[in-house]
Amino acid sequence: RVLVDDNRGVAEPIDETETVAPYSPNTRRGGYKSGPGLVVRGTHALTLERPSTAAAIARPLADRLYAAPVLAFAWGRGAPGGEAGGAALMSGGAVGSGAARGGVAAGGVPAGGAVGGVPATDHATGASGAVSLAPASLPAAAAPDSGGALATPLPPNVQLMTLAPRADGTVLLRLTHQFGLGEGGPLSAPVNVDLSTLFRPAALRIKHATEVSLTANQDKASILRRRERALAWPGAESAEPHPWRSAVFNYSVSPLVLLGPMEIKTFVLEV
């Protein structure tokens, strides 16, 4: 907290308190502040690793800390004899790091209780919730499905960043490579992910997939065409891009997605 104006441009002390009165045009120094100062708490994790192996520890650890699964509990009728029993619901959390990789965080029973559902998580925007991609008309006494949504574990350097339903009935998927060039040894190498075998059919059946921009407002093929035209201009950069930057994805030809270091790829799934 700074109790006097440091004359750095905001024309008021940087005094963050729990209560701030509305700003008034007649108040030269801004809103009146009262109450105790704000306290920010966080978790710091310290690892002691050699530079050659530090990224392999720090990046997955950061994901586990930032996007840890959130547990909630609700009463259900799944216990033997029809007695009420507790059922764990899981929502949010990044899929692809540590304990969450290929486990229940990728497809435990989401809020709403639909068996075979998948948590709808968007770490690009920070939004998370629950989406049921399987029929919801199940008996109330149905046992929770703890098999997970992923049919096969993700590669150790890949994270499922976004899995969210869209208004038109499609599903938005983002996959990200967690490591940069040269920072994680083999973990920094490009990697393939097979979309056709990634999810269990009971959780998500992919009929077709189209690669789009990060914001999902245009298809990747049109972006590559414009990039090629731009490179033809005099004075344009002549350096060849990394092969994964110009890789063309066609689900009908091959469901393999090539991810390069620190690359995020976005897909619209028809299910």
Looking at residue 77, its pLDDT comes to 65
What is the C-alpha to C-alpha distance for residues 210 and 224, in angstroms, rounded to an integer?
14
Looking at residue 66, its pLDDT comes to 83
Mean pLDDT of the chain, nearest integer: 74
Which residue type sits at 200? R
Cite the beta strand spans of 95-170 per DSSP E: 118-122, 127-131, 158-165
What is the C-alpha to C-alpha distance for residues 184 and 261, in angstroms, rounded to an integer?
10
Looking at residue 42, its pLDDT comes to 83
What is the C-alpha to C-alpha distance for residues 271 and 263, in angstroms, rounded to an integer?
25
Over the stretch 5-52, which tens digit does the pLDDT of each residue have?
Answer: 777 877 777 788 888 877 766 665 557 778 888 888 888 889 999 988
Greatest alpha-carbon pair distance for the chain in Å reads: 77
Q: Is the pLDDT of residue 107 over 70?
A: no
Over the stretch 42-55, which tens digit does the pLDDT of each residue have?
Answer: 888 899 999 888 99
Which residue type sits at 22? P
Length of the chain: 271
Distances (CA, A) of 214 to 122, 218, 224, 260: 12, 9, 13, 15
Looking at residue 97, its pLDDT comes to 40
Over the stretch 150-198, which tens digit does the pLDDT of each residue have?
Answer: 998 899 999 999 999 999 999 999 999 999 988 878 899 999 999 999 9
Its pTM surpasses 0.75 = no
Distances (CA, A) of 1 to 31, 33, 271: 16, 12, 52
Tokens of 149: 């949504």
Helix (H, G, I), strand (E, B) or coil at 35: strand
